[in-house]
Chains A and B, each alone.
Chain A
Amino acid sequence: MTGPLQNGAAHNREAAAFRMLLLQAKLMLCAGADDIAGYSAEFEMIVAAVSAMVGRLFAAENPEVMKFPALISRKSLERSRYVEGFPQLAGMVQCFCGDADAHRRMLGCIGEGEDWSGYLEPTNAALTPASCYPVYPLVASRGPVPAQGCLIDVSSYCFRHEPSIDPIRLQMFRQREYVFIGRPGQAVAFLDNWLERTFAALRGCGLEPESDLANDAFFGRFRGMMSTAQRAERLKTEILLPISHPEQRSACGSCNNHKTHFAAAFGIKLENGELAQTVCAGFGLERLALALIRRHGVTVREWPAPVRSALHLPG
């Protein structure tokens, strides 16, 4: 799930001003670098509230709830083909695996202010690009998908290498998504249902969401071709709200039809042996929290009572 590119100078000015507002209100905490943020208890209360709201959307359908760390296996990342489409956003974990002599030389390197990354080696861990990614190999390992399909409510931290001071463009952020796996008609019906329930829930929070067709931030010279195909097939729809810029909308969530992409990558099959279809739909939790702050202000106790009630926030 990625938002539209918004590199305009006006947007950057508004993003910088919004960031300053969040820092002054002590909702966001500067964590040693302009593009790495922490959050206060008040902000975390909002994130917990929006996460719970997302969880209520399909609670009646009794989804299987899964939580994962920000790590997936490097093999899973490769099989998902993320690196083919988004190498500029991917990250993997490297660690020092050398001996005492190499340790001494590495410390010397750091002491001289030189690049010491050459002393690190790749591990089998990669950073999760979207919270749904650990679901596909797991579901594939369970055998054929039952006739009614399966619905999963999954959350994790995610990583994308796009450093920015814009509060909505974080390198590490939280997503909570629903993943539906089943037959094509079931998958599309789920997305329609998700959009309808999401709009109702956001309106209940005093927000005025819009949706639009979108494309992911594909890499380099393939971007145009891939984006055109993604839009022509109407595979991605974003939920748009004013966040960093008060008059320009940014994505705070999206729903995505992968068709058989992940099923083919991981071997997820239906009971008749055909490949299943997968869809995911969810939110960037910080973005949704920030959209609420943009709409209702930096002090939660001053938000309208119906909004606090809809989010189950203290009155």
Chain B
Amino acid sequence: MDGIRVALRQSSLRMAEYIGTEENLFDAGLSSFDLINLIMSLEEYYGIEFPQDAMRRENFETISKIHETLAALRGEAAAL
């Protein structure tokens, strides 16, 4: 989850270190424009590219959901 917190920090969300894994990031102040930065930071950190069908706001609502989205994506990549 460290990479997710790094990406959150880069996306300008303050207090990224202290946000609970189930806490809603948008309620904590993550804006739509922050989400663009978050997605690009995650892609850079993990060396991936989110497919269009994964680019849904609900997939990035909590750290836990981001983790699941990443796991699903990397699982698919490993299976190829």
Report how far A229 CA is from B57 CA in the complex, Å: 8
0 or 1 for each of B30-65: is its CB under 8 Å from A? (1 = yes): 011101110100000000000010011100000000
A171 to chain B, nearest CB (A): 24
Check if B56 sits within 8 Å of A84, measured CB to CB: no
Q: How far is the CA of A226 from the CA of B35 in the complex (A)?
A: 9
In the complex the two chains form, is A84's CB within 8 Å of B52's CB? no
Contact of B37 among A84, A228, A261 (CB under 8 A): A84
Provide the main secondary structure of the chain A interface.
helix
Q: Considering only CB atoms and an 8 Å cut-off, how many residues of chain B contact the other chain?
A: 11
In the bound complex, residues from chain A placing their C-beta under 8 Å from that of B33 are: 81, 84-85, 261
B35 closest partner in A (C-beta): A225
Verify if A48 is at the interface (C-beta below 8 Å from B): no
| Cross-chain contact B57 with A84 (CB below 8 angstroms) | no
List the B side residues contacting A84 at CB < 8 Å.
Answer: 33, 36-37
Docked-complex contact B52 and A224, CB < 8 angstroms: yes
Contacts of A228 in B (CB 8 A): 56-57
Q: Per a CB cutoff under 8 Å, which of B32, B39, B52 touches A229?
A: B32
CB distance from B26 to the nearest CB of A (A): 9
Report how far A310 CA is from B4 CA in the complex, Å.
58
CB-based nearest B residue for A260: B31
A264 touches B (CB below 8 Å): yes
- Measured in the bound complex, the distance between the Cα atoms of B55 and A221 in whole Å is 8
Say whether, besides A230-B32, A261-B31, A264-B31, A225 and B56 are in contact (CB < 8 Å). Answer: yes
Q: Which A residues are CB-close (under 8 A) to B37?
A: 84
B-chain residues with CB within 8 Å of residue A222 when the two chains form the complex: 36, 39, 55
Counting chain B CB atoms within 10 Å of each CB, the highest count among A222, A260, A261 belongs to A222
Please determine whether A221 and B52 come into contact, CB atoms closer than 8 angstroms.
yes
Among B32, B36, B52, the most chain A Cβ lie within 10 Å of the Cβ of: B32
The distance in angstroms between the C-alpha atoms of A260 and B31, with both chains bound, is: 9
Question: Which residues of A in the span 205-234 have a Cβ within 8 Å of any Cβ on B?
Answer: 221-222, 224-226, 228-230
Residues of B within 8 A of A260 (CB): 31
Contact call B36/A224, Cβ cutoff below 8 A: no
Closest to B29 in A: A264
Residues on B with C-beta less than 8 A from A221 are 52, 55
Q: In whole angstroms, what is the CA distance A48 to B35 when docked?
A: 41
Could you write out 12 A-B pairs with CB less than 8 Å apart? A221-B55, A222-B36, A222-B39, A222-B55, A224-B52, A224-B55, A225-B35, A225-B56, A225-B57, A228-B56, A228-B57, A229-B57
Q: Which residues of B contact A (CB under 8 A)?
A: 31-33, 35-37, 39, 52, 55-57
A-B pairs with the 6 shortest C-beta distances? A81-B33, A225-B55, A84-B33, A229-B32, A84-B36, A222-B36
Given contacts A221-B52, A225-B55, 13 further A-B contacts (CB under 8 A): A81-B33, A84-B36, A85-B36, A222-B36, A222-B39, A224-B52, A225-B35, A226-B36, A228-B56, A228-B57, A229-B57, A260-B31, A261-B33
